[in-house]
Structure 1
Amino acid sequence: MPRLVLASASPARRTTLRSAGIDPIVVVSGVDESQLGDLPPAELALQLAELKCAAVVGRDEVPADALVLGCDSVLELDGEALGKPHDAEEAARRWHAMRGRSGVLHSGHCLRDVTTGRVAAATASTTVHFADVSDAEIDAYVATGEPLEVAGAFTIDGLGGAFVTGIEGDHHNVVGVSLPLLRELVLELGHGWPDLWV
């Protein structure tokens, strides 16, 4: 049975996979997420996922029969790709722009079978509707530090969940890994989804 290796430091991705019966080996890629410049948001998410996967594949801690998963998420708002904010001021500016509006969260997924070298990759996109939050709520949320650590400056599975009024698409994707899409990639590489369960 192959073992899934997650090329990401995201605790939310790891928790999502564990809840789905998969206990991944975590190997942080160390990829600089700012290196690709001005690609369209969905393409940027996929390219970063591919880079993260490639950065981890040859490492010593990766089993020879592993499936390596690279993921990256960006929020698209007004055609612009928004990753993690650099500081509290940027996070607050983003929330002032996002409140009462909708954006699209793109999560790129790249899965590589270490044994065969085969790769399957795709992007999942989910529309996210944001509450018309007050200035005081934005200030309080930014002060928690949570929005500084996540793409788009929000979470759906943490403190920011109350500020998301709805989504269209896979809610797991908003957390950072689309389970339905990952299942399709696993099948594309010739494996069974239940084979990853522990």
Structure 2
Amino acid sequence: MTRLLLASASPARRATLAGAGIDALVATSRVDEEAELTAATERFGALEPADAVLVLAHAKAQWVVEHRPTPEAEAEADVSVAGQDPASDLIVIGCDSMLELDGEIFGKPADAAQAGARWRTMRGRSAVLHTGHWLIDDRDPAAGGTGGTLGATSSTVVHFADLTDAEIDAYVATGEPLAVAGAFTVDGLGGAFVTGIEGDYHGVVGLSLPLLRELLGELGVTIPELWRQAAGVVA
């Protein structure tokens, strides 16, 4: 039975999949993001933001494929896939998001002061949220596995409201901006501060469902097949 394994601890990404009828397994990668980006820059030169998130999405998916534990090791492992049979036929997806503004890219802010400073720069302006997606087909060939590995980036223009200093301070004080790329959400408290988007809403949340459909199609898997798995029906 084919299952989707999300190489991310993001509750928003898992909720996006669940809302789309996909009951994904979850395993958190332990990728050194700075090291990955440095290595990629040394190899390919300066990275465009859309490429940087793709590098990290690939690294996360690959890490989980290489470190997926057996049931005997699962209790002591740093990654855990609850209820997973290690013999299950998995397609692993890694994701990473960054906000591009004035030619710079921003991931999660380091602290509250940085989050506040970013919002004072972002308010009343527009930026581009890039989310990289990388799939690795880890299914057995007998179950249709292709061994394929492929990815793409979803890029969406986000328009921000012109917040007051008091609104920025109150939002940062909630802690939400510290946990997300770009220091904002569109599906949480930050949604009140996003006046519009041009592109895929789910890509801003952290996982583009239309792009996932396209990438799965390249591996010979359809979204409805994953619906049936979520519903407990064997195709």
| Same structural fold, with TM-score higher than 0.5 when normalized by the shorter chain | yes
* Counterpart-to-counterpart distance in 1, 2:9 and 2:89: 21
Equivalence for 2:186: 156
Post-superposition shift, 1:64? 4.2
Cα contact 1:92–1:142 (8 A) shared by 2:
yes
- Which has the larger displacement, 39-48 or 53-62? 53-62
Q: Which has the higher helix share?
A: 2
* Counterpart-to-counterpart distance in 1, 2:178 and 2:48: 22
Equivalence for 2:168: 138
The number of equivalent residue pairs is 198
Instruction: Show the 5 A alignment for 1:103-114.
Output: 103-114=127-138
Which of the residues 85, 95, 114 maps onto 1:71? 95
* Counterpart-to-counterpart distance in 2, 1:121 and 1:42: 11
Percent of aligned positions that are identical: 65
* Counterpart-to-counterpart distance in 2, 1:2 and 1:12: 22
SS at match of 1:122: strand
Which of the residues 90, 108, 113 maps onto 2:114? 90
Letter matched to residue 131 of structure 1: A
Over 3 Å counting, the alpha-carbon distance change for 1:182 and 1:190 in structure 2 is same
The structure with more radius of gyration: 2
* Counterpart-to-counterpart distance in 2, 1:34 and 1:127: 25
Equivalence for 2:73: none
Equivalence for 1:169: 199
* Counterpart-to-counterpart distance in 1, 2:87 and 2:164: 49
Cα contact 1:101–1:130 (8 A) shared by 2:
yes
Moved over 3 A (4+): 61-64
Which of the residues 40, 44, 55 maps onto 1:47? 55
* Counterpart-to-counterpart distance in 1, 2:126 and 2:217: 32
Over 3 Å counting, the alpha-carbon distance change for 1:195 and 1:165 in structure 2 is same
* Counterpart-to-counterpart distance in 2, 1:150 and 1:47: 18
Over 3 Å counting, the alpha-carbon distance change for 1:4 and 1:91 in structure 2 is same
Post-superposition shift, 1:34? 2.7
Instruction: Name stretches of at least 5 consecutive residues in structure 1 with no aligned partner.
Output: none
CA RMSD of aligned residues (A): 1.2
Letter matched to residue 15 of structure 1: A
Instruction: Name stretches of at least 5 consecutive residues in structure 2 with no aligned partner.
Output: 39-45, 70-80, 140-145, 231-235
Structure 2 length as normaliser, TM-score? 0.82
